[in-house]
Amino acid sequence: MKKLFSSRKATPEQPMGVPAANEPKTAPRQDQTKGKKTDPFNIISWSLTVFLVISLLGGTLYYKSTLPPVVVTAAPQATQETSQSDGSAPVVADPATVTEGGGGFFPTIFRKLQVKTNIPERPRYEPVTYRVVRGDSMYVIAEDFKVTSETILYVNEQLDDNPHSLRPGMELSIPPIDGLYYTWKENDTFESVAKDHFANAQDIIDFTGNQIDLTDPKVEPGTVIFIPGGSRELRNWAADLPTNERGANTGTGGSNASNTCGGGPVAGGFGWPADDHTLSGNAYGPGHLGIDISAPEGVNVYASGAGVVTMAAGGWNYGYGNVVQIDHGNGYVTVYAHLSSIFVSQCQTVGQGTVIGLAGNTGNSFGSHLHFEIRIGGANVNPYTIVQ
């Protein structure tokens, strides 16, 4: 037993263990990768690889986008069966005969890449509501919705048949096509309604928005229908402003014989009454018997031709605002409306190009412009057919 518990002595073959507290200090193992230089060959090779891949992809896309479209021309037999003239079995063409650009069993048609998808516009059968904003005009709104200015006047009673009644914030009903709405009455027929509105009865029946049963076409009283291509008489606001002439025996004749300015020069032609020759608002038409010429407030307004001033009046003047009329002695009278200032007086003689006032925004006007009319015997004509 004594031998078993006696201290074991170290031998050369098996040294005695050393306590952890008495172990010698050792340095930590150094990182084998620390300080190692990056191989430049790897960087260059990977850069070249990425560059080549991008170049190949870009070149492929560019090549495909520049190829012209190819039209495949094939005989009728290539796409469908055709019968023999003698009544025998039909002949089916061999697909291999259909070739494109040198042959091939499956022809290919190339087209240019298109980022945006074209969605076909569907026909509209119901009216839409449009809110008027500053800078709008009846002419511009009509152009945007592909209808006439008269159509907008027909269906919007708040305008009172006057395109100058537009105001910011006003909500307009815009029909899908030219025409007008009508409330069906007792004893109405398609023929009578179409005749009253200068339209075609079959167009009323066929219009999808009216939802008329084609097998038994009829409409209940009180139903609102749309009359494609229909029209009605619009109020002639120009008639509210009388045509002032020089008086009797002056070459014009007269709807206003009380004006006795007497004789004066006779116009040999008519020019533009403003420096700008473009429209800023409404064109000539049944609802607007003149043209609205672009004219910022304060720019010059010129006499379109030589003549005598028969009206130079400030105020409302039936919505014309400050207005000037000139009798040209050859049957023509010109009207200049919405002026901010008037430089001439009644019975004054003027020559073509005389500054008669400044453009403005007076009267029933929606933004500064020059409203210009030409009348013959008191009736309005399109100024575009007269001015040079």
**Looking at the structure, do residues 222 and 241 belong to the same domain, yes or no?**
no
Structure tokens at 312: 């130079």
Give me the DSSP letters along 243-288.
PP---TTSSS--S-TT---------S----SSS--SBSS--SBTTB
pLDDT at 327 over 50: yes
**Looking at the structure, do residues 208 and 280 belong to the same domain, yes or no?**
no
Whether 114 maps to a domain, the answer reads no
**Looking at the structure, do residues 204 and 245 belong to the same domain, yes or no?**
no
Which band of pLDDT confidence, cut at 50, 70 and 90, is reported for residue 123? confident
Amino acid at the residue 229? G
Q: 15-60, pLDDT tens digit by residue? A: 555 555 555 555 555 555 555 566 777 888 888 888 888 888 888 8
**Looking at the structure, do residues 214 and 242 belong to the same domain, yes or no?**
no
Q: Is the Cβ–Cβ distance between 199 and 227 less than 8 Å?
A: yes
pLDDT at 148 over 60: yes
Identify which of 227, 117, 133 has the alpha carbon closest to the alpha carbon of residue 181.
227
pTM of the model: 0.61
**Looking at the structure, do residues 192 and 299 belong to the same domain, yes or no?**
no
Whether 275 maps to a domain, the answer reads yes
Return d(Cα 127, Cα 370) in angstroms, integer: 32
CATH number of the domain within which 344 lies: 2.70.70.10
**Looking at the structure, do residues 213 and 281 belong to the same domain, yes or no?**
no
CB atoms closer than 10 angstroms to residue 363: 20
Whether 296 maps to a domain, the answer reads yes
- Domain closes at, from 185, 203, 228: 228
pLDDT at 80 over 80: no
Q: Residue 373: which domain range?
A: 237-385
Q: Measured between alpha carbons, how far is residue 19 from residues 12, 16, 22, 24, 276 in Å?
A: 18, 10, 5, 10, 108
Return d(Cα 101, Cα 284) in angstroms, integer: 56
Whether 40 maps to a domain, the answer reads no
- Domain closes at, from 171, 198, 228: 228
Whether 95 maps to a domain, the answer reads no
**Looking at the structure, do residues 243 and 291 belong to the same domain, yes or no?**
yes
- How many structural domains is the chain composed of? 2
**Looking at the structure, do residues 251 and 333 belong to the same domain, yes or no?**
yes
Whether 111 maps to a domain, the answer reads no
CATH number of the domain within which 136 lies: 3.10.350.10
CB atoms closer than 10 angstroms to residue 259: 24
Q: Is the Cβ–Cβ distance between 303 and 264 less than 8 Å?
A: no
Which band of pLDDT confidence, cut at 50, 70 and 90, is reported for residue 61? confident
Task: Compute CA 301 distance to the chain's CA centroid, rounded to the nearest angstrom.
Answer: 30
Please list, in sequence order, all residues whose beta carbon lies within 8 angstroms of the beta carbon of residue 115, skipping any fewer than 6 positions away: none
| Average pLDDT of the chain to the nearest whole number | 81
- pLDDT given for residue 16 in this prediction: 53
Q: Is the Cβ–Cβ distance between 111 and 154 less than 8 Å?
A: no
b/e burial code for range 285-313 (CB count within 10 A of at least 16 → b): bebbbbbbbbbebebbbbbbbbbbbbbbb
**Looking at the structure, do residues 258 and 343 belong to the same domain, yes or no?**
yes
Whether 257 maps to a domain, the answer reads yes
**The total number of residues written for the chain in this structure:** 388
pLDDT at 102 over 50: no
pLDDT at 175 over 90: yes
**Looking at the structure, do residues 244 and 353 belong to the same domain, yes or no?**
yes
Give me the DSSP letters along 67-97.
SPP-PPP--GGGTS-B--TTS---B---GGG
Return d(Cα 246, Cα 250) in angstroms, integer: 6
Whether 29 maps to a domain, the answer reads no
- Domain closes at, from 228, 259, 288: 228
**Looking at the structure, do residues 325 and 367 belong to the same domain, yes or no?**
yes
- pLDDT given for residue 353 in this prediction: 95
Q: What percent of the chain has pLDDT over 70?
A: 73
**Looking at the structure, do residues 134 and 160 belong to the same domain, yes or no?**
yes
